Copies of this chain bind each other. A is one copy, B any other.
Amino acid sequence: MGKNTREQLLESARRCFAAKGFYGASIADIADELDLTKQALLHHFGSKEKLYGEILKGIAESIISDIIRTRADVTDPLAQLEALMTGILKRQLAHSDEAQILMRELLDNRARAEQAGNWYLKPFLDSLVSIVRTIPLEEDLTEARALALVYQFLGSINYFVVSEPTLTQMFGKEMHAAMRQDYPEQLRLLIRSRFHRV
């Protein structure tokens, strides 16, 4: 039953870290969810940091492989950008745990020096930038501008995903359901209109 326990611990840890952050979640909390002691967790992962590191690695790998799959399908750069962004939105909505963890990682970067989980995602950002720069546009996009554009879309996506509980509390469940259903289309509109192809 060893392999199974390990994976269950990873799932539990992902939930806890997403909900309370690295400092807020204790390894005892995580193990308790499976009616285990924290020493069982330490047996499998050695330390809290290593456990967290494995989770970050898993998220980055999963996202990147997800992206690569999407990328091969389309050739037109604008369509490709659109497909990638809506793909990311869908993905993050389905795995909001991961979106939360990455957002926390973004925030904790200031304190926790290097080893950030976002580094894994740099190649992914680079490829998005190169796609954007091949889209014909009257203005010439510097790398900084292309990155800013990419960041605007990524921000729209991740901020929304991470705001789910707050939006639900503020505007009610139905309102959030409506937004969630419509958001992919709104994202597509935002991207297309920015490139004057509406």
Chain B residues with CB under 8 A of A100: 107, 110
State whether the Cβ of A187 lies closer than 8 Å to any Cβ in chain B. yes
Contact residues of A: prevailing secondary structure: helix
Q: Do A178 and B23 touch (CB < 8 A)?
A: no
Q: Encode contact with B along A132-156: 1 for CB under 8 Å, 0 otherwise.
A: 0000000000111101110111111
Give how many A residues have a beta carbon under 8 Å from the other chain's beta carbons.
60
Q: Encode contact with B along A148-181: 1 for CB under 8 Å, 0 otherwise.
A: 1101111111111011011101110001001100
Q: Do B170 and A125 touch (CB < 8 A)?
A: yes
State whether the Cβ of A198 lies closer than 8 Å to any Cβ in chain B. yes
Given A103-B107, A157-B155, CB of A166 within 8 Å of CB of B21? no
Binds B, one of A1-9, A40-48, A74-82, A116-124: A116-124
Residue on B nearest A139 in the bound complex, by CB = B189
Chain B residues with CB under 8 A of A159: 151, 154-156, 158-159
Chain B residues with CB under 8 A of A24: 21-24, 108, 111
Given A100-B107, A145-B182, A152-B160, CB of A21 within 8 Å of CB of B23? yes
Q: Which of B108, B119, B153 contacts A20 (CB 8 A)?
A: B108
**How far apart are the CA atoms of A106 and B167 in the complex, in Å?**
9
